[in-house]
């Protein structure tokens, strides 16, 4: 724990000074807030290091994150508090004491410190990109400038709730295929480690030459049993290398492009991403953000680097003087029906409303696709199971059939 010196003002405006031991300045600010003292300055005494400087605390801090549900609750609470006329600094100090997430609590205390030093709310939130996205900051900035900060928090909370549903759809789309792949992998492992070895002794006792299918199965099973650690290590290494590659900008771009072309779920991913684009772009347009800046914000919020790159291409087209519908058509992402809706919106000046309709259209398609996802994957599962049965029939039972045939002769 470190020792901090603080200077503040009490409820009567009198100057208050003192020392307090805490892990960081945010905890000191919370301590003062509980005693109705407004902090003016908080400085750490020399020769002391805060607890968060330890290697374990730093690792723990890196693992911390603010969940989407917590951000939704925070936005809803800020809407209610600002609508009731409660000062932002007081509202955030109170929320910092009530939230359970240490990272969010510390962030809110830091934002309040910046506000008390004269910074704007959007500028203070922008110092914490791990918690507040560029979209969040931009909408708060618009709300500050227009005097509708409470409505900005309300719109953000509604958007985040829709974003939560989108994430739920993505998880639902990937859960069943992933389960099928794990089940097939487990079945192959059981066959190689237990089924084939059980028959191997019987085959060798026959003393006859085995079919090549059986020899291939026995060799594969023997390699799996003898070098399983190499297989597991290779799989873990490949997974680690894949994650490192996807973390790079070119790797993320190629992987996100490949996801849109996957069989069965690729089209579903594309419709989910385009629905997110339409919903987000409608939100920032309705907030009054210029279209060029709006496209930049949306390109980072769609959750797909490939489509985000297409969105940035739309901005370049608009900067060259092209119409919104024309640039949207050039990306090749949107269906003819959605392009017609965008054209009507551009002509009537209600492009935000038409984008909202497009988002509803995509979300309805996603909901329909999710209902039929199991039916679409079932043929793949049946083929995979049929292939494993064929391998067992040729490799395991074929020698037994041949032996039975020779005995009957």
* 3-class secondary structure per residue, 278-332: HHHHHHHHHCCCCHHHHHHHHHHHCCCHHHHHHHHHHHHHHHCCCCHHHHHHHHC
Pairing relationship of beta strands 38-44 and 2-9 according to DSSP bridges: antiparallel
Would 185 be classed as within a structural domain?
Answer: no
Q: Return per-residue pLDDT of the chain as tens, 409 residues.
A: 577 777 877 766 677 788 777 766 767 777 777 677 777 777 776 654 444 444 444 444 555 788 888 999 999 999 998 888 888 888 888 888 888 888 888 889 888 888 888 888 888 888 888 888 888 888 888 888 777 888 889 888 888 888 888 788 778 777 877 887 788 788 878 877 887 787 777 777 766 667 777 778 788 888 888 888 898 899 999 999 999 999 898 899 999 999 888 887 788 888 888 888 888 888 888 878 888 888 888 888 888 889 888 888 888 888 888 888 888 888 888 878 778 888 888 888 888 888 888 888 888 888 888 777 777 777 877 887 788 778 777 777 777 676 665 555 5
Are residues 28 and 120 both part of a single domain? Answer: no
Cβ atoms < 10 Å from Cβ of 265: 20
Residue 47 lies in a domain: yes
82 within domain boundaries:
yes
CA pair distance 252, 306, nearest whole angstrom = 8
Query: Within this chain, do residues 362 and 284 fall inside the same structural domain, yes or no?
Result: yes
How crowded is the C-beta side of 46, counted as CA atoms within 13 Å? 0
Q: What residues contact residue 314 under an 8 Å CB cut-off, 6+ apart?
A: 295, 324, 327, 328, 330, 331
73 and 154 belong to one structural domain: yes
Answer yes or no: is 175 within a domain. no
Flag whether 74 is in a domain: yes
| CB-CB contact of 394 with 220 (8 Å) | no
Which CATH number covers residue 72?
Answer: 1.20.81.30
| pLDDT, position 9 | 76
Domain boundary among 159, 187, 217: 159
* Domain assignment of residue 17, yes or no: yes
Residue 94 lies in a domain: yes
Find, among 199, 165, 26, the residue nearest to 101 by Cα.
26
50 & 79 share domain:
no
Choosing from 120, 138, 159, the residue where a domain stops is 159
List the domain range (segments joined by +) for residue 271: 266-371
pTM of the entire structure?
Answer: 0.66
């Amino acid at each position: 724990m470190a020792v901090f010196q603080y200077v503040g003002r009490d409820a009567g405006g009198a100057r208050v000074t003192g020392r307090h031991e805490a892990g960081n300045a945010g905890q000191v600010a919370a301590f003062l807030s509980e005693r109705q003292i407004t902090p003016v300055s908080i400085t750490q005494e020399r020769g002391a290091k805060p607890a968060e400087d330890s290697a374990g605390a730093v690792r723990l801090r890196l693992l911390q994150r603010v969940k989407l549900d917590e951000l939704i609750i925070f936005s809803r609470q800020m809407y209610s508090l600002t609508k009731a006329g409660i000062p932002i600094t007081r509202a955030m100090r109170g929320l910092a004491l009530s939230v359970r997430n240490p990272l969010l609590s510390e962030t809110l205390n830091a934002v309040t410190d910046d506000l008390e030093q004269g910074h704007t709310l959007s500028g203070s939130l922008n110092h914490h990109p791990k918690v507040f996205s560029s979209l969040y900051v931009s909408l708060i900035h618009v709300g500050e400038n227009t005097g509708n900060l409470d409505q900005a928090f309300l719109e953000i909370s509604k958007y985040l709730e829709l974003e939560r549903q989108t994430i739920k759809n993505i998880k639902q789309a990937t859960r069943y295929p992933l389960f099928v792949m794990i089940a097939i992998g487990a079945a192959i492992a059981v066959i190689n480690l237990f089924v084939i070895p059980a028959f191997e002794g019987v085959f060798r006792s026959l003393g006859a030459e085995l079919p090549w299918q059986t020899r291939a199965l026995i060799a594969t099973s023997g390699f799996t049993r003898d070098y399983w650690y190499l297989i597991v290590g290779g799989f873990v290494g490949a997974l680690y290398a894949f994650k490192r590659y996807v973390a790079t900008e070119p790797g993320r771009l190629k992987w996100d492009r490949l996801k849109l072309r996957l069989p069965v779920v690729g089209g579903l991913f594309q419709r989910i991403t385009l629905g997110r684009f339409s919903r987000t772009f409608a939100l920032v347009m309705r907030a009054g953000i210029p279209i060029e800046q709006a496209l930049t914000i949306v390109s980072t919020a769609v959750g797909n680097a490939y489509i985000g790159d297409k969105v940035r291409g739309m901005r370049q087209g608009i900067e060259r003087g092209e119409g919104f519908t024309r640039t949207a058509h050039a990306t090749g992402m949107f269906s003819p029906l959605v392009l017609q809706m965008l054209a009507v919106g551009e002509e009537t000046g209600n492009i935000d409303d038409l984008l909202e309709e497009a988002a509803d259209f995509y979300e309805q398609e996603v909901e329909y696709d999710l209902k039929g996802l199991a039916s679409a994957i079932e043929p793949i599962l049946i083929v995979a199971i049929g292939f494993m049965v064929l391998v067992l029939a040729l490799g395991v039972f074929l020698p037994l059939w041949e032996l039975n045939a020779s005995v009957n002769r």
